[in-house]
Amino acid sequence: MRLLAEVLELKTRHPFIIARGSQDTYRTVQVRLIDDDGVEGWGEAAPQRFYGETTETVLEALQVYATVLPTDPFHLEDAEAGFEMALHGNNSARAALSAALHDLAGKRLGVPVYRLFGLDAAKCPLSTFTIGIDTAERIQMKVREAEQYPVLKVKLGTTDDRAILSAIRDVTSKELRVDANCGWTRKQAIRMLPLLEEFGVTVLEQPLEPTDLEGLGLVRQEARIPIVADESCLTAADIPPLVGKVDGINIKLAKTGSLREAVRMIAIARAHHLMVMVGCMIESSIGITAAAQICPLVDICDLDGAALLARDPYVGATIDGGRLRLPEGPGLGLSAR
């Protein structure tokens, strides 16, 4: 098996602003695994500086992982364990390999990856569309542009979060979920709760910094809406300490490092009666379509990363009237645009 990697430069339609910064150009790494019969599996790494990765670290890590590629593409568990043993961390790089191996296995069998996992594609929940931080006028323009999405996810964690919520409520009555991206202190978060309620917000994601699990528990005690952990929950091992502190977890392949770990996380979360959300980074349809494969298992789907792009080089899972639609082709069912 051979591994090829290439940097993809992606631009968002509007500069994408969250509590910890603004950006309009994103670099991800497209991974192609080619087996001895010429069958190709595709994956994408969306590295985040916040988790210690860049495209450069991904490319370096892939060189290490290239030395331990499986000889049998169906030995998915062993392959993923082998990557982890060869080089720990580098989760977005490993996520790209995991997606590519699953794509390859599905193509060899002639079935979509979600069917390999035993899932019914019709069970995907609606996907939210994210409204980044901006001026009131630009936020209202983005809300109008997001007309086809029935649920909006609003980025907060600014000095004027009320103005943002109020600007959005002036132009829509849609369901709103809020993501503070670690932008609040305990006091601010608890002070924000009545405001979120006033504006009809239904979910609050990651109000506090990642390590403040005790604080998350205090916010949850005061909250009447579910609190979801994102930056506090990377892999399965992070779930048990969060039990009792949050109501749900947000799974992203760039954090978990693997589709199989994502499924293990869902099982562990369910055992603890936690809600499960699947999210994404700003990435092309390769990464989004990989994450979409497990969406029939989750409560909340937030897979708008490719929908926020000015131009997506690939065609895969789409969001149709808010509903996530999985491609029917074998593997991830992806094609170049």
302 binds Mg ion (CB under 5 A): no
283 binds Mg ion (CB under 5 A): no
Q: How far apart are CA 274 and CA 251, in angstroms?
A: 12
Nearest distance in Å: CB 179, Mg ion: 4
Q: How far apart are CA 295 and CA 41, in angstroms?
A: 20
For Mg ion, which stretch binds (CB under 5 A), given 83-91, 143-151, 202-210, 269-277?
A: 202-210
Nearest distance in Å: CB 182, Mg ion: 9
161 binds Mg ion (CB under 5 A): no
For Mg ion, the closer of residues 161 and 205 by Cβ is 205
> Sign (positive/negative) of CA torsion 157, 52, 28, 41?
negative
Nearest distance in Å: CB 250, Mg ion: 6
Nearest distance in Å: CB 53, Mg ion: 17
For Mg ion, the closer of residues 103 and 205 by Cβ is 205
Nearest distance in Å: CB 235, Mg ion: 16
For Mg ion, the closer of residues 33 and 262 by Cβ is 262
For Mg ion, the closer of residues 103 and 230 by Cβ is 230
Nearest distance in Å: CB 277, Mg ion: 9
For Mg ion, the closer of residues 35 and 205 by Cβ is 205
Residue type, 58: V
Show the binding pattern over residues 98-117: x = contacts Mg ion (CB under 5 A), - = does not: --------------------
- The token pair that represents 313 in the structure block: 């080089």
For Mg ion, the closer of residues 84 and 205 by Cβ is 205
Nearest distance in Å: CB 279, Mg ion: 6
Among 44, 84, 179, 283, binds Mg ion (CB under 5 A): 179
SS (H, E, C) the chain: CEEEEEEEEEEEEEEEEECCEEEEEEEEEEEEEECCCCCEEEEEECCCHHHCCCHHHHHHHHHHHHHHCCCCCCCHHHHHHHHHHHCCCCHHHHHHHHHHHHHHHHHHHCCEHHHHCCCCHHHCCEECEEECCCCHHHHHHHHHHCCCCCEEEEECCCCCHHHHHHHHHHHCCCEEEEECCCCCCHHHHHHHHHHHHHCCEEEEECCCCCCCHHHHHHHHHHCCCCEEECCCCCCHHHHHHHECCECEEEECHHHHCCHHHHHHHHHHHHHCCCEEEECCCCCCHHHHHHHHCCHHHCCEECCCCCCCECCCCEECCEEECCEEECCCCCECCCEEC
Show the binding pattern over residues 120-139: x = contacts Mg ion (CB under 5 A), - = does not: --------------------
For Mg ion, which stretch binds (CB under 5 A), given 16-24, 104-112, 155-163, 176-184?
A: 176-184
For Mg ion, the closer of residues 80 and 205 by Cβ is 205
Q: How many residues bind Mg ion (CB under 5 A)?
A: 3
304 binds Mg ion (CB under 5 A): no
Interacting residues with Mg ion between 216 and 275 (CB under 5 A): 230
The residues of the shown chain that bind Mg ion, judged by CB under 5 A, are 179, 205, 230
